[in-house]
Structure 1
Amino acid sequence: MNHQYYNVLGIMSGTSLDGIDIAHITLLRKESWSFHIHRAITVPYTSEMKQQLAEAITYNKREVEQLNLKYTRYLAEKILNFIDAHKIDNLVAVCSHGHTIFHQPQENYTLQIGNLPELAQLINQRVVCDYRVQDVALQGQGAPLVPIGDQLLFGAYDYCLNLGGFANMSFEQNAQRIAYDLCPVNVVLNHYALKLGKEYDAGGAFAKAGTIQTPVLEQLNSLEYYHQNAPKSLGMEWVNAHIFQILDPIKDTCDIIATYTEHVAVQIAKQLEPEKTLLITGGGAFNTYLIESISKHSSAKIIIPEAVIVEHKEALIFALLGVLKLRNENNCLSSVTGADRDHSSGVIYVP
């Protein structure tokens, strides 16, 4: 595609199960890329869908296939509602990440549901999706994928940190973009907040009320993953195998949340050089206690942008990945994922 103006939707569903992020975006390519987010929402999952997505990691092949089709139809309904409500027309594409069920790059396998050809037919739009599979086939981690967007849209910052279900960060090093998952964040904090009757730890109030359990904190910080070199990435399989079994023996849930919040702050801070600029986005950016904890461990200059970018930066960047795919330009960086080469990933479906 030769034109430089792209009217698209970016769609993202994260592992923290907050909901489906849908953003109407204009991307413009001149000397460099620029963007405008016209409107963006997060559509909460129904309790039934949220439960199925959380349990899907235990499903057999047939159950996963059934959920994939159900989720694709569910996703199509939410996208159509958004398009109709805002009277959006002349879209170049709907660029959708899907929802990750399995992520096992060491087994050459990753699965994001909602990336079926039916999606294009149901919404009657061109769809670009399924960005991770090709990277894993090229011996990459299939994650993180956001760093190409950090480089092209947010390159003015030394570090770009996303605090979502997992913390991942990207930065330039020796003229290459480097990125990796730092640690789980909201997939753990939200899990324990639910035990206290809340969807998440608003502002870090539970963490502030708890007491950090130093022996447990040391056990968390000593996990092998944190001492591995990049490229590396995390999935719920790793969280289930390593994190919960360390935290569950703590009797007080606020103590668990306090200890884990401190763990996250420590893991992030140790990646940062002094006085560098750090752009923080994702739901965790609203956790003021966590942000303050990072500041206590690092002298990096923290920048939290306007709320629409905090909440929808990933939807924005998956829109960019889709446009790069349409332009047949690289949207996966081997320096980030460890794949055999840079490549243009994703599949394109037409109605």
Structure 2
Amino acid sequence: MKPHSGNKYRVIGIMSGTSLDGIDLAVVDFSYKQNRWNFSIISAETAQYSGEWYQKLKNAPELPGEKLVALHNEYGRFIGQEANRFLRQNNLVVELIASHGHTVFHQPENGFTFQAGSGASVAAETGITTVADFRSTDVALGGHGAPLVPVGDKLLFPEYDYCLNLGGFANISFEQNEKRVAFDICPINFILNDLAEKLGLPFDKNGNLGRAGNTDEKLLRQLNQLDFYSQSSPKSLGREWMNEYFLPVINSYQIPIADKLRTVYEHIALQISGTVPGSGKMLVTGGGTFNSFLMECIKTHSKAEITIPTDQLIHFKEAIVFAFLGLLRFLGQINCYASVTGSRKDSSSGIIYPA
């Protein structure tokens, strides 16, 4: 089914970030006019996780199979309940739910990825057709199943040369040889939050802890020499990579946490600037944009013309894009690029669960 010029589609995108800060919900209107997609955000919010849900999702990778399946369905019902509440509170009706779920395992090199949050449970709870499980088809086709946001970058934000997202990991997308390419760059909030927690804080607000530290040049060199950074794209990162390769390097240094943080900030800025060596317009989104010290470090090293959009777009870009990916899947259109993920072919990925 192709979009008709002038048609409007109202979709709710639901995204659980890797940093476990809560569920992002965004109701978005999409329209197709003059051969391009347009969107407007109708309403959006982040529903914070309770302590119980935070622990359940954080501990999910350790669960035995039976309990993981139970959590998958329970979390799907929870997503559905949150969608019902949000739509009711805002007096909104949508045609479609696009739910990413929460990534528990992402090991494309071993042929699998798993996002908790059963789409069948979401559809049953809400009575609304739901698209979920966006990554498995691409992984089955030999791809990384990530990143998926570049389809939204290309079609919803065509005026930017680069789209950089600063979330649990930094990722970027841009056009190269008339194809979209995208890949993960390095850890961001995953490692910054992990280090801040060692000082009793949930995150490094405004980068104040890192700003007070000193760069350890030896640690910086060792981080920059990690094999991942010399690999060509497509490539992606997951918690497993950070636990196996990044954290052991950090933990091997007996230096103050503030110095580790300062060194990681420098590392992030260098990796990003190395990825975007030239000038051009760069849209920067994700929670990391609110970290003023992180943005200072990036601007110090980067030649790109950086645009930081509205707070609403920063907070909810991923939820907006997954709403769009769900719509493309519902319409039977390509929503996953082989040039980005390394799969054998482009695909229309995601499973549709009728209401």
Would you say same fold, with TM above 0.5? Answer: yes
**Structure 1 residues 147-226: aligned runs within 5 Å:** 147-226=150-229
Runs of 4+ in 1 over 3 A off after TM superposition: none
Q: Does 1:74 align with 2:78?
A: yes
Aligned identity (percent) is 44
Aligned-residue RMSD, C-alpha: 1.1
| Structure 1 residue matching 2:104: 3-state secondary structure | strand
Q: Does 1:52 align with 2:47?
A: no
Instruction: Kindly indicate whether the alpha-carbon contact (under 8 Å) linking 1:147 and 1:179 is maintained by their aligned counterparts in 2.
Output: yes
**Partners of 2:184 and 2:196 in 1: CA distance:** 22
Give the deviation of 1:208 after TM superposition: 0.3
Structure-1 separation of matches of 2:170 and 2:307: 16
For 1:277, give the aligned amino acid. K
Q: Which runs of 5+ in 2 are unaligned?
A: none
Gaps of 5+ in 1: none
Candidates 319, 343, 352, aligned match of 1:348: 352
Contact residue 162 and residue 280 of structure 1 kept, 8 A: yes
Contact kept in structure 1, 2:166 and 2:288, CA below 8 Å: yes
- CA deviation digits over 1:303-349, x for unaligned, max 9? 10000111100000001101101111100000000111111000111
Given that 2:76 and 2:118 are in contact with CA atoms closer than 8 Å, whether structure 1 keeps it comes out as: yes
Q: How many residues of Structure 1 are paired with residues of Structure 2 in the alignment? A: 350
Distance across 1 between alignment mates of 2:198 and 2:180? 39
Partner of 1:311 in structure 2? Answer: 315
Retained in 2: the 8 A contact 1:131–1:345?
Answer: yes
* Length-normalised TM-score, structure 1: 0.97
- Give the whole-Å Cα distance in 1 for the aligned partners of 2:268 and 2:277: 17
Provide, for residues 218-238 of structure 1, a one-character-per-residue CA deviation record: whole Å limited to 9, x for no partner. Answer: 111000000000011111000
Q: Name the aligned partner's letter for residue 112 of structure 2.
A: Y
For residue 191 of structure 1, report the CA deviation from its aligned partner. 1.3
CA contact (8 A) 1:250 1:256 kept: no
Residue by residue over 1:91-130, the C-alpha shift from the partner in whole angstroms, topping out at 9 and shown as x without a partner, is 1101111110000000010000113312101011110111
Letter in structure 2 aligned against 1:96 = S
TM-score, normalised via structure 2 length: 0.96
Q: How does 1:1-351 map to 2 (within 5 A)?
A: 1=1, 2-3=3-4, 4-31=7-34, 32-89=36-93, 91-248=94-251, 249-351=253-355
Q: CA deviation at 1:52?
A: 1.9
SS of the counterpart of 2:55? Answer: helix
Once the two structures are TM-superposed, the CA of residue 300 in structure 1 deviates from its matched residue by 1.0
CA deviation vs aligned residue, 1:18-67 (integer Å, no higher than 9, x gap): 11000011011112100001111111111121122122222221221122
| Structure 2 counterpart of 1:131, one-letter code | F
